[in-house]
Amino acid sequence: EKGIRIEGLSKRYGKGDTAVDALKHVDMQVAPGEVVGLIGPSGSGKSTLLKCLGAVINPSAGRMILGDQVIFDDGWKVRDLRALRRDKIGYVFQAPYLIPFLDVTDNVALLPMLRGMPNGEARARALELLTALDVQHRARSMPSKLSGGEQQRVAIARGLVNQPPVILADEPTAALDSERAMAVIKILNDMACKFETAIIVVTHDEKIIPTFKRIYHIRDGVTHEEMGEGRGFE
Ligand code: ADP
Ligand code: ADP
């Protein structure tokens, strides 16, 4: 059983008069193989939701189930959160955060290497993703030599390389032109399909919003689900 589900997730920052309820009883489920959009204005709770889903912060209440594992149930239940973050969740952040002293290939290959994959195999897998993202010509470059869009694509490759069951992507196409944005969406859809990944994409990008079959809108910490145009990426 794969995919991710949250039930009644709430997050309150602070206490008393100054408390902020950033998430109010949010329900969400993403099936294996599904790519859903998460859309909302600034301050609506998107980052807080991603941080809870990514096991970076703990919610104030609610449940999260990843595959057949209960991650939290009104409190942390998982002993090894580091292993959860490393093995189960792929992150694609807005700012690429590439490691400056490793070349592009090793930036992508590092995670599988740390998990014990032989270096050659990890690099081959990295190169395969870099090729799919049309940035293979930069494979031996250092991150500082790359344009913002190229760095973004390398960061996407890094988020996908371990083939985690869940991928959280925060504005993955913001720095990219139309064609490259669509290439990224195609890769996310292919990944979802091939590896039964559940993918959540936070975005404002009008270019990619019509590709989602299902969208969660968030406003003031409350989510509403909506069927998207689901045109896909053809
Ligand atoms: P978004 O990502 O949609 O901009 P956030 O999740 O960052 O929204 O913020 C949701 C609400 O929670 C906002 O009112 C924000 O000011 C508040 N908030 C976010 N992080 C914190 C924090 N660490 N401490 C206090 N309030 C926070
Ligand atoms: P984003 O575009 O990622 O939502 P924000 O400016 O909303 O950026 O938040 C940046 C960081 O500051 C986040 O980690 C968020 O949790 C934190 N933050 C946001 N609002 C507040 C707040 N009112 N008090 C403390 N921290 C906050």
pLDDT at 72: 74
Name the helix (H) or strand (E) containing 84.
Answer: helix 81-88
Nearest residue (by CA) to ligand 1, atom 11, is 22
Name the helix (H) or strand (E) containing 123.
Answer: helix 119-132
Distances (CA, A) of 164 to 13, 61, 171: 29, 25, 19
pLDDT at 199: 96
SS3 sequence of 128-168? HHHHHCCCHHHCCCCHHHCCHHHHHHHHHHHHHCCCCCEEE
SS3 sequence of 181-233? HHHHHHHHHHHHHHHCCEEEEECCCCCCHHHCCEEEEEECCEEEEEECCCCCC
Ligand 1 centroid to 43 CA: how many Å?
Answer: 6
Interface pTM, i.e. ipTM? 0.70
Q: How confident is the model at residue 77 (pLDDT cuts 50, 70, 90)?
A: low
Taking all residues of the chain, what is their mean pLDDT, rounded to a whole number? 90
The number of angstroms, rounded, from the C-alpha of 195 to the middle of its chain's C-alpha atoms is: 15
Q: What is the mean pLDDT of residues 111-138?
A: 95
**9 has pLDDT over 90:** yes
Query: Of 8, 129, 124, 147, whose CA–CA distance to 64 is shortest?
Result: 8
Nearest residue (by CA) to ligand 1, atom 21, is 13
**192 has pLDDT over 70:** yes
**91 has pLDDT over 80:** yes
Tokens 């909302």 correspond to what residue? 40
Judge contact between 33 and 196, C-beta under 8 A. Answer: yes
Nearest residue (by CA) to ligand 1, atom 1, is 43
- Pocket around ligand 1 at a 6 A CB cut-off: 13-14, 20, 22, 40, 42-48
Distances (CA, A) of 126 to 155, 162, 200: 11, 10, 22
Sheet holding 166-170, edge to edge: 89-92, 166-170, 198-202, 35-39, 214-219, 222-227
pLDDT at 84: 79
Q: How confident is the model at residue 71 (pLDDT cuts 50, 70, 90)?
A: confident
Does the pTM surpass 0.90? The reply is: no
